[in-house]
Structure 1
Amino acid sequence: MATPLPRISVSVKAAIVHQDRILLMSYDDHSGFHYNLPGGKAIVGEPLRDAVARKVKDETGLRVRATRLLFVVEYVPEQYNDEFGTVHKTQHNFLAELLGDTATPRKSDPPDPIQVGFEWVPLPELPDKYLLPRVNQQLLDALAATPADRDVLVDRW
């Protein structure tokens, strides 16, 4: 009997850097007070770059364009005693460029009941923030690296 294929939740996150600050969203829930990058789950049939633009607009009102894939985070529930749920997840973290004139985020409509607010955090302060998933150093490393001569996400078959 063949082993069943996993059901995997696919999400996207946007690292939006503006004037040497990164936009973080703050939350207070069962994990306590923490930060996250804007983003969320992709929907069926939606390319990941389009999901970045949609989720950032929904959550912050800001218009962005996903420029390059920084890194992917995988969550396998069995490896973490189901700390963050029982669903296998991949989170694709993109560098995103602000489009338009505004860098002032606004809450979603309807508002997310666990969201506290937004913060443009100076990059040197990022290591001190409680970010979930805990990718502070990977994020700083990816932002500091010289971009490859090509995008690491091949989004065509």
Structure 2
Amino acid sequence: MTLPRISVSVKAAILHDDQVLLLSYDDHSGFHYNLPGGKAQEGENLRAAVHRKVAQETGLAVAADRLLLVTEYVPAAWNNEFGTVHKTQFTFLARPLGNTTTPRFQDPPDPIQVGFEWTPVDRLTEVYLLPRIGEPLVAALHGRLRDPFIDRW
């Protein structure tokens, strides 16, 4: 039996003044938002990956607090909508460190990223957030999520 290749990534729900930082993108999926984050490197623990990816994508230093969600994407279950790689994503609550909450673009910039937006927590269900975690994310941020495992992307 061959073990599957599984991509492991992290995301940060950076909370400041009841708002969460979203990155906006325009690509083959159309205009949408993502939480900052990305793939963990081999040998890197998940909280360290949160610190590294948030710093890369936003220039912000954060403290990675508690785990909010675990999201899994199984390509065959979703007709390969978001590629053919099996993915797991760990979303952490994070808080900015220091005095700055103004994000900056990467250097060099990501060609499909178009901006940043601090979005009120209760508005997260109204935006096109990929993966589609708006409702469970709001529930998790309010401490009302019963099951943190999300099996749809």
Partner residue of 2:47 out of 46, 49, 59: 49
TM-score in terms of structure 1 length? 0.90
> Could you say which structure has the larger radius of gyration?
1
| Runs of at least 5 residues in structure 1 that lack an aligned partner in the other structure | 153-157
What SS does the aligned partner of 2:124 have? helix
What is the rounded CA distance, in whole Å, between the counterparts of 2:141 and 2:129 in structure 1? Answer: 16
Count of residue pairs the alignment pairs up: 146
What is the rounded CA distance, in whole Å, between the counterparts of 2:144 and 2:124 in structure 1? Answer: 19
| Runs of at least 5 residues in structure 2 that lack an aligned partner in the other structure | 149-153
Deviation at 1:146, TM superposition (A): 6.9
Equivalent residue, structure 2, for 1:91? 89
Deviation at 1:122, TM superposition (A): 1.1
Deviation at 1:124, TM superposition (A): 2.0
Supply the RMSD in Å over aligned alpha carbons. 1.4
Q: Identity, % of aligned pairs? A: 66
What is the rounded CA distance, in whole Å, between the counterparts of 2:67 and 2:120 in structure 1? Answer: 21
1:47-126 matches, within 5 Å, as 47-126=45-124
Deviation at 1:65, TM superposition (A): 1.4
Equivalent residue, structure 2, for 1:11? 9
Equivalent residue, structure 1, for 2:129? 131
What is the rounded CA distance, in whole Å, between the counterparts of 1:81 and 1:43 in structure 2? Answer: 27
Deviation at 1:125, TM superposition (A): 1.5
